[in-house]
Structure 1
Amino acid sequence: MMGPLRIVFGEAFRVFFLAAALFAVAAMVYWEVWLGVHAAGGMVTRTAFAPPPHHWHAHEMIYGYGAAVLGGFFLTAVPNWTGGRTAPLPFLAAVAGLWLLGRAAVWASGGLAPWLVAIADLAFAPALGLRLALMLARRPKPQNLMVLALLAIFWSGNLAVHLDWTGVWPGAAEAGLRAGLLTLTALIAVIGGRIIPAFTTNAMRKAGRETGLPRTGRRLDAPAVAAAILLPLLLLAGAPEPALAGAAGATGLLALLRLAGWRGWWTRHAPILWTMHLAYLLLGLGYLALAAAQLGLASEVGALHLLAIGGIGGMTLTVMTRAGLGHSGRPLAAPPAVVAGFLCLLGATGLRALASFGSLAAYYPATLGAGALWITAFALFLTALWEPLTTARPDRAGG
């Protein structure tokens, strides 16, 4: 019999999906407390971390939660793409330790040298990227190598944040945070554009349907992916707002056109599928909202949270559920708790939009409500996936 820790650290999806969900709850609980104090008329005058609180919040959601999901997904998916072996337990324990070291360093940054915080936090992505590069070298397909390029852009965004925090590049954190978020959405455009129509096609064929299957093709896919990747690069390059608006608008329009051909309505009775389609819809709408914000027609903060909560949060929740169930040998049926959690994320998306687009009086109640729903969503995920992620596959229960 394998011990619980050996099981958890034995496969990437287990350790990183658990870490992502636990961190999603813990980091948001702290943010709720901080906001709650200010909503009540008080003020938090001292924090353990050095950056402004809103920078800490954004950074840890993007480069903390987001990075953990990337680690779990790619260290699980890439061996399947290449036919290679999965990462061994010592490597998974070491790279998970690097991720945790980064979270601890950023949290305690108020008492640490900024360069030391930067080194600790920036170590995870290169370690992950090196492992992925070694695996992808077995079958170096361009569409898979794109993952390494996006991981490099993601790391570059985090580097820009730390260059600001160390005083080397003042003001760079805003661009670095936005670039990191938009790199995550670009990864969803790339990976979601593969798996959503593929999973939907498989389900339709399993149901006996061979006509009216999801439509895919380079005519839409290539420009959609290119536009999504271009956007964070433009941000890091300091492109003017009209250029950002054009790139965001094109990305959103192309995302919605792709989605229209993926037969989302057919999946309405399969939560493990329609949650992906709906998250991708919110992604497309978020890009369009961002384009409007760059033209001064909408709230940029509202647009970014539409992308972050609805697009990234919704897609990662459902992908972690599907991968967690499938790779742990459980049936591919979304547990009711996860469906409820996804609906909580939809509610959180709406409330956070209200906080940004509504009246000033609605800001704190709506923002606190959105945070509470986010916490509930990932608590429900942990309730439903704890056993699959922490126990051996049923067909390997003997060890």
Structure 2
Amino acid sequence: MCGFRPFFLATALCAVLLLLIWLGFLAAGLGVPAVPGGAVVWHAHELMFGFGLAAVAGFLLTAVPEFTATPAFGRRTALGMFLLWTAARLAFWLSGTLGLTGAVLAAVLNVGFLGALIAIVAPRLWRDPERRHLAFLWGLGAMWIALAGFHADALGGAYPMRWVRVGVGVMMVLIVVALSRISMRIVNDALDAERLRRNGGTSRRHAEDDELPDYRARPPRRNLAIFGVALYTVVEFVLPGSVIGGWVALAAAAAVLNLLNDWHVGRALLSRWAFMLYAVYWLMAAGYALIGLSLLGAPVIPSAGLHLLTVGAMGVSIFGVLCIAGRTHAGHELDLRPWVLVAAAGLVAAALARAASGLPGMPVLGLQAVSVAAWVLGYGLAARYLGTVFVGPRPDSGTGCEEVLSEA
């Protein structure tokens, strides 16, 4: 029915499968799919360009029609894109076994999948009279360059991880762009609920309501954060491991923290959905801060900060999108059951444990195992409780991909 359904379900299931395979590799030396570059390359590629892009595709195939006031993409489009994504996964997993032919096929399918996504959404984003959402298009274009660069390096026999790091930077930018849209509703809904609480359950405005102005995701703060993240990504690519990159990473962290100044709206921030999105930015800022400190000589390996970005900011934000956009566009109200908090806490714990494994004197393998277990808990709960939503019929009177309709 809608593009988010197969892609969001695949996102949750893929998150569990990938990390269970990785835990088997870390704990027992079990084999992972043989790909050019080795096990770490497979792990990084699939989390960024498999799991991550599945979530991006599901979000954009649903959000772009809404953002541009255009009809939903048809079932054939959703099915074709999902089959292409699946074929790209299989080709990459078999690329080491099939030799050069497999590597070429994996490159064509993976790069082709993202190229097809761009071709599908670009006309609508460009033709939108106000062109308010072109940032998604520029982000997808940058991600396509990162993915193409990865496979070009792999085919040329070079170690392709530098392009995964570019992909991480692009993903952080896409997260900032997407959350600026999602947060406008989530935080303002929390503010409305707080006003109702203050007013004893009535919608009548009181003078003290002026203390709770509407939340706005202000472009200057957002653009500064995007610029900081993009600048660090470029500097790290051109001058890997440099002191300059360390200072720019700290600047990126500061820019993300500055963005959070728009979020300080009082008690409403403590609602589960607003605070979950708020935590994404803290994880992102902490990730760039740790990377910066590492490059400036602090006793912490850069991957500690990198995993705060991937396991933390990316993992929690994608989970939030699955819960918020996935449920509402499937005709369901937001889920207020305890499992959401347990899953979100598990993902944050996974990020913190993985980052802690990069600190001196810490039990590396033990913390990595804890991180994987917490991640699998979080996305396992998502697969359990959201999976039935993504494959089931709408419970409201809606028939398409629109948000939940009130029965009143």
The TM-score, its normalising length taken from structure 1, stands at 0.89
State the 1:293 CA deviation: 2.2
What do you get for the CA RMSD once the two structures are aligned? 2.2
* SS of structure 1 residue aligned to 2:156: coil
Is it true that 1:369 corresponds to 2:370 in the alignment?
yes
State the 1:202 CA deviation: 3.2
Structure 1 equivalent of residue 201 of structure 2: none
Structure 2 equivalent of residue 347 of structure 1: 349
Structure 2 equivalent of residue 51 of structure 1: 37
User: Which of 202, 208, 211 in structure 1 is aligned with 2:189?
Assistant: 202
* SS of structure 1 residue aligned to 2:127: coil
Tell me the number of residue pairs that the alignment of Structure 1 and Structure 2 aligns: 382
Query: 2:190–2:271: 8 Å Cα contact kept in structure 1?
Result: no
Structure 1, unaligned stretches of length 5 or more? 1-9
Structure 2 equivalent of residue 279 of structure 1: 280
Partner Cα separation in structure 2 for residue 33 and residue 322 of structure 1: 32
Partner Cα separation in structure 2 for residue 238 and residue 150 of structure 1: 22
Structure 2 equivalent of residue 6 of structure 1: none
Which segment is superposed worse, 327-336 or 274-283?
A: 327-336
Which segment is superposed worse, 21-30 or 155-164?
A: 155-164
State the 1:398 CA deviation: 8.9
Per-residue CA shift, 1:219-266, capped at 9, x if unaligned? Answer: 423222222233333344456723422332222111112213312652
Structure 1 equivalent of residue 198 of structure 2: none
State the 1:23 CA deviation: 0.6
Is it true that 1:176 corresponds to 2:167 in the alignment?
no
Residue type of the alignment partner of 1:119: V
Query: 1:204–1:210: 8 Å Cα contact kept in structure 2?
Result: no
User: Which of 105, 115, 118 in structure 2 is aligned with 1:126?
Assistant: 115
Alpha-carbon spacing, 1:248–1:330, altered in 2? closer, same or farther (3 Å): same
User: Which of 87, 98, 111 in structure 1 is aligned with 2:84?
Assistant: 98
User: Which of 169, 173, 186 in structure 2 is aligned with 1:186?
Assistant: 173
Structure 2 equivalent of residue 5 of structure 1: none
Structure 2 equivalent of residue 386 of structure 1: 387
Is it true that 1:158 corresponds to 2:147 in the alignment?
yes
Residue type of the alignment partner of 1:188: I
Structure 1 equivalent of residue 307 of structure 2: 305
Structure 2 equivalent of residue 333 of structure 1: 335
Is it true that 1:36 corresponds to 2:23 in the alignment?
no
Which segment is superposed worse, 331-340 or 156-165?
A: 331-340
**1:17-28 → structure 2 map (5 Å cutoff):** 17-28=8-19
Partner Cα separation in structure 2 for residue 87 and residue 366 of structure 1: 43
Partner Cα separation in structure 1 for residue 127 and residue 253 of structure 2: 34
Which segment is superposed worse, 374-383 or 187-196?
A: 187-196
Per-residue CA shift, 1:76-124, capped at 9, x if unaligned? Answer: 1111110011111111111111111111111111122222221122111
* SS of structure 1 residue aligned to 2:212: coil
Query: 2:125–2:137: 8 Å Cα contact kept in structure 1?
Result: no
Partner Cα separation in structure 2 for residue 47 and residue 323 of structure 1: 32
State the 1:64 CA deviation: 0.5
Structure 2, unaligned stretches of length 5 or more? 196-208, 401-408
Per-residue CA shift, 1:156-186, capped at 9, x if unaligned? Answer: 1122221221126x23x12101011111111
Per-residue CA shift, 1:304-347, capped at 9, x if unaligned? Answer: 00111111101110121001111112112343212211111121
**1:208-219 → structure 2 map (5 Å cutoff):** 208=195, 209-213=209-213, 214=215, 216-219=217-220
Structure 1 equivalent of residue 50 of structure 2: 64
Query: 1:272–1:334: 8 Å Cα contact kept in structure 2?
Result: no
The TM-score, its normalising length taken from structure 2, stands at 0.87
Which segment is superposed worse, 210-219 or 22-31?
A: 210-219
Alpha-carbon spacing, 1:160–1:290, altered in 2? closer, same or farther (3 Å): same
State the 1:140 CA deviation: 5.1
Residue type of the alignment partner of 2:165: R
Query: 1:189–1:255: 8 Å Cα contact kept in structure 2?
Result: no
Structure 2 equivalent of residue 294 of structure 1: 295
Structure 1 equivalent of residue 94 of structure 2: 108
Partner Cα separation in structure 2 for residue 178 and residue 305 of structure 1: 11
* SS of structure 1 residue aligned to 2:280: helix
Alpha-carbon spacing, 1:160–1:334, altered in 2? closer, same or farther (3 Å): farther
Which segment is superposed worse, 239-248 or 372-381?
A: 239-248
Structure 1 equivalent of residue 65 of structure 2: 79
Residue type of the alignment partner of 1:134: P
